[in-house]
Structure 1
């Protein structure tokens, strides 16, 4: 693999050197032709005899090409260093090393273009690193959350299978199995919705609708839950219109309000407010439960 990489880098150096060499030869040919043209038309006078003078010009051109080729081969590595640095960093990033950061040399790093390139690359690497951490945490937490109801369902199903249970116990275990099954279904739905949102870099089905009415409907959908806990919804907002995907945004409000009910204290209230500024609309859902740590 390393030999192949070195081969590719050498090919890049040859390509760059070849381009510089081509322009060098082209320049020498143009200059030589101009000198010969001027001599033929009497604008320039040759020093010494004609043949010797032309041989001198040809030798000078050959020597210039030879010296230029050597200098090109040596000097071409200098401008290619930043290119190689970018390629190396991109390869490391592609291989999963999200801690990779791009830094140019002491002098080049002061150039505005180099600053912009390194900043963009490093921001990309940081975002990928954070995404990888979130992905790992999500998989771990999700696996645990899925395992818990599955174990419960399997355990109570075994108890039902063994028999020797009263009708009251059977009904209790069936209710638990039903509740855990619904919990699994809800988690699967949330994952599908999350995947749907993540895959939609460009949202479709964007329409204008009444945001206030949508939130009121979501509160009514969860009425059974907040009435069981004797909670009172406090809706502190007027009428607000918004352009968005109505279906996806509805799922957001249901999740937030459901969490406020779930973690709120019994017999208290949860508050929903809407604040509209020139560029955005801020929706706040607050409850009296345990405060979420700032790092989350």
Structure 2
């Protein structure tokens, strides 16, 4: 409380001291000039003034008016001169704002001494730091987006040109056609993922909410993806509590689909996936665990970033957007998503919804 009062009164005290200081300087200078003029006999002494008062009753008003006018002019001059220094911190902030408006997000403001202005500088620096991070993410997104789209397009063009050659065997021709089909599907999936993520990022409020059985929805998602996990001979262990949830079914299904697809993708042939859904008080906990290669700390730190793929060799098919979609949907549902993973010990994704 004491610190709060100190911070809130600091600017007020500073302004009061500034005004008081200007007044004191004005009267000291005016008084000094008056004494100096009396010493130099430029103005009348007190005895002469008293004599003039008796002769002219209105005489004593004029010097007072002159003195007040002189003080006002002198005070105004001092205020104009000293206010330049007093307003320097505000000018620093204004200059910094102009730099930010021109695109320089690395500018910093350091103001000390006045509580409110210190708080202003700290908030400004935090804002520029956030803007810089957003700009970096935007730049990375554009670069990754261009790369991910360009790769299949170049592949399609290359194999299409090869198909125009007449000396190809039927086996080569079929192989090139299969590659073109695969790359076309990859491009279509990537386009769908980008549009889905864009739609969810621009979504502020979840609409079309309904009551549904979340455990049944997860079971349907597992059955829907049966061809994928059966192709890798995976064992899927399921332990789901009966959970009633109020939300948007299409959104929540995207969570389970992308997490299960990610687990299948990184599981080894003949591996194991554990899935559980538990009701804990007023929260819902979903956990999916695989026994894949796991992740290092760097990968875990960026796993939810757009287009980020821990598999830098791109040996696993994917756009790097699935987990970004999961994170965004979970945020819209006022939930949290976390990952625990170690190299060679698989990964565990946990989703908590309220």
TM-score, structure 1 normalization: 0.72
Q: Matched residues in 2 for 1:213 and 1:118: separation?
A: 52
1:99 aligns with 2:106: yes
RMSD of aligned alpha carbons: 2.8
More relative contact order in 1 or in 2 (CA 8 Å, sep 6+)? 2
Q: Matched residues in 2 for 1:276 and 1:101: separation?
A: 47
Instruction: Write out per-residue CA displacement over residues 60-108 of structure 1, whole angstroms, 9 at most, x where no aligned residue.
Output: 2211220121122122223422222222222222222222233212x22
- Indicate the SS of the match to 1:104: coil
Is the 8 Å Cα contact of residues 241 and 278 (structure 2) preserved in structure 1? no
Distance 1:174 1:285, change over 3 A: same
TM-aligned CA deviation for residue 165 of structure 1: 3.7
| Aligned counterpart, 2:64 | 57
Of residues 182, 185, 194 in structure 2, which corresponds to 1:182? 185
- Indicate the SS of the match to 1:99: coil
Aligned residues: 247
| Aligned counterpart, 1:16 | none
Distance 1:239 1:131, change over 3 A: farther
- Indicate the SS of the match to 2:238: strand
| Aligned counterpart, 1:83 | 90
- Indicate the SS of the match to 2:287: strand
User: Superposed, which structure 2 residues align to 1:247-286 within 5 Å?
Assistant: 247-274=250-277, 281-286=284-289
Distance 1:68 1:288, change over 3 A: same
TM-score, structure 2 normalization: 0.61
| Aligned counterpart, 2:223 | 220
Is the 8 Å Cα contact of residues 111 and 117 (structure 2) preserved in structure 1? yes
- Which structure has the highest helix share of the two? 1
Q: Which consecutive residues of structure 2, in runs of 5 or more, have no partner in the other structure?
A: 1-18, 24-49, 303-354
| Aligned counterpart, 2:318 | none
Instruction: Write out per-residue CA displacement over residues 199-258 of structure 1, whole angstroms, 9 at most, x where no aligned residue.
Output: 23x224152444333333322222211111111223333233445444334333322221
Instruction: Write out per-residue CA displacement over residues 114-149 of structure 1, whole angstroms, 9 at most, x where no aligned residue.
Output: 343233322222222222222222233332222221
Q: Which runs of 4+ in 1 moved over 6 A?
A: none
